[in-house]
Structure 1
């Protein structure tokens, strides 16, 4: 059994711990600054907990000593601190961050590391890059890659058509920070919340718009090889107009703590969610312009004896799959590892990656 540290005892961290302890191949220590949060995690013979101040380097290094890997489910602003400690202690590092600047710093750290540093192992960034890169490999010449992902309530009941499903800090960060894209072959930054579009899937209409971080390192990997590459977050129609009013008209982009308080006290969380994944790639084969699309919906379900939301399942399954592949030596075990280096077939064949397999779809919501 391999010893693993999971940092963060929230919804995602607890889901990761549940998957890893249930499989029987990992001993897991869940660390958090809050004893109250740790006490909410269901007991398991292969699980222990630790109250740790992540900002205390000595505490963090003591926690990591002798471990195989550390998986960060902590807020994005703690990413670098954890990655630095992992590199110092020769412990493999995996995270879920969508923050572009944090990933750049992790990449720089990896240049001298003796272990693997693997950021962005969740859904988007993460699985979405694996899908996009795999579809792109089917073409002699790639023209465009359009990647769309959303974690949505199955039954929206407010003006935003939205319920909280994951980190509020991460949500606000992706709504505010600039977004990478490739436009006419050039890698550029585009503003968040812009370039709104609509599409339908299974009879349901969605909107999609620019948000930060979802592409991971794919822009850098495919620069010079594709004419158009972009990522947009999926919501139900009407969402982005209200968000833009809050951020721009009311100036809450400069007061994210106020926006966080509003979201967390006005938007209820829900376990009845759906993750929508929609990737379209077009390119040339035998001189003809052709297109391939990957479309999938993942719903909340009972996993390892507990009901988990769709975003918990997809995010936790993503990072657990990468950990498994790392433990097997199926991906590089040293340096910076990009998500798009991972084979889609290997990912989906993995015991955790199988949670992404298309299942019988729930009925479309009422109009």
Structure 2
């Protein structure tokens, strides 16, 4: 158990699936005074049933009131709200954490952080987030790093249909990943590569997968490893056949130019599920001690039940990531002001954290003892 000398007052913005999971984890920990703010009364009612304080926010004035005087804000709102909320937090001197996969938003928040009195730490989820911590840990094991390849998938456990996919998180974020340029290091040079390209197939534990370029998963890792690696890339994992259908939709039918329509199509045709699994696979190769060696990291994470509430795998991993970042800042184990990238977090510290332990394959037992 981690106890603080004083209870930190924090605000969670957004009472959707991920915001609810964050509130549940932090409420069970018992070290934070939690306020959850949203514009949807029905969602707030579900959070209030946990015994957590809630507030209805509908404009910038009420949003500012939910931020002022808090120790930290955890932003679970859509990606386009990241920069406005981070701006308010920086002005108020409040620590800021979010889950955005949007590269432009992260760059804007980094610029905001130059003179900030508080921590601004975006991309604290699964990918970007945890996978960057894993990648940096693997990279540090080599005298000379040649390649670092990171693969993550949030997948249905029981896939159906031609796409073999279910919606498990933000549809807007998913479309961003499929459409926006993807950061990478190629032949030692930082660059961008097209989304949906670089298709590869592989098997883990007897299950066949495909993987292809998607945007945002690397966070700031290409900056950290610039000049230190020949090849660094990130790809999303899906079941075979997904990539070909996406190319039909986005390229042949040109739905990449009509993202609102694509969002409506996906949300009306693809069911959501909480019967999901997170697949993580990262591998690095390079020189160590005069020899060419390879190191790998893999994990398979399913959902769990906590305090009578079922958390899907994507809820669990995403919420655990941002709650771990909050914990480490509150403990003074990360910088206390300015921009903080995921690479500042040691993998061992993350996995030893009361929230981060969910990634170590000990989810249910560890989290049940969270308080």
Aligned to 1:76: 79
Matches within 5 A, 1:48-67: 48-53=53-58, 56-67=59-70
Mind listing any 5+ residue stretches in structure 2 that lack a counterpart? 1-6, 364-371
Match of 1:13 among 4, 19, 22: 19
1:292 aligned counterpart, secondary structure: strand
Aligned to 1:364: none
CA distance in 2, matches of 1:209, 1:147: 11
CA distance in 2, matches of 1:344, 1:195: 28
How many angstroms does 1:57 deviate by? 3.1
Matches within 5 A, 1:188-199: 188-199=191-202
Mapped pair 1:209 → 2:212: yes
Match of 2:332 among 305, 329, 332: 329
Mapped pair 1:32 → 2:35: no
Aligned to 2:118: 115
**C-alpha RMSD of the superposition:** 1.1
1:40 aligned counterpart, secondary structure: helix
Query: 8 Å contact 1:128–1:147 — kept in the other structure?
Result: yes
Query: 8 Å contact 2:101–2:128 — kept in the other structure?
Result: yes
How many angstroms does 1:42 deviate by? 5.0
2:115 aligned counterpart, secondary structure: coil
Total equivalences in the alignment: 357
CA distance in 2, matches of 1:221, 1:351: 27
Aligned to 2:94: 91
Query: 8 Å contact 2:48–2:54 — kept in the other structure?
Result: no
TM-score of the aligned structures, taking structure 2 as reference length = 0.95
How many angstroms does 1:239 deviate by? 0.4
Mapped pair 1:148 → 2:154: no
Match of 1:264 among 264, 267, 271: 267
Mind listing any 5+ residue stretches in structure 1 that lack a counterpart? 361-367
Aligned to 2:256: 253
CA distance in 2, matches of 1:196, 1:266: 25
Cα-to-partner distance string for 1:6-57 (whole Å, 9 max, x where unaligned):
1111111110011001110111111111112222325233x1111113xx43
Cα-to-partner distance string for 1:321-344 (whole Å, 9 max, x where unaligned):
000000000000100001011011
TM-score of the aligned structures, taking structure 1 as reference length = 0.96
CA distance in 2, matches of 1:43, 1:67: 22
Which 4+ residue blocks in structure 1 deviate beyond 3 angstroms? none
CA distance in 1, matches of 2:206, 2:224: 34
Cα-to-partner distance string for 1:66-111 (whole Å, 9 max, x where unaligned):
1000001100001000000000111000000000000000000000
Match of 2:317 among 297, 300, 314: 314
1:214 aligned counterpart, secondary structure: coil
1:111 aligned counterpart, secondary structure: helix
Query: 8 Å contact 2:185–2:230 — kept in the other structure?
Result: yes
Aligned to 2:295: 292
Query: 8 Å contact 1:163–1:267 — kept in the other structure?
Result: yes
Aligned to 2:185: 182
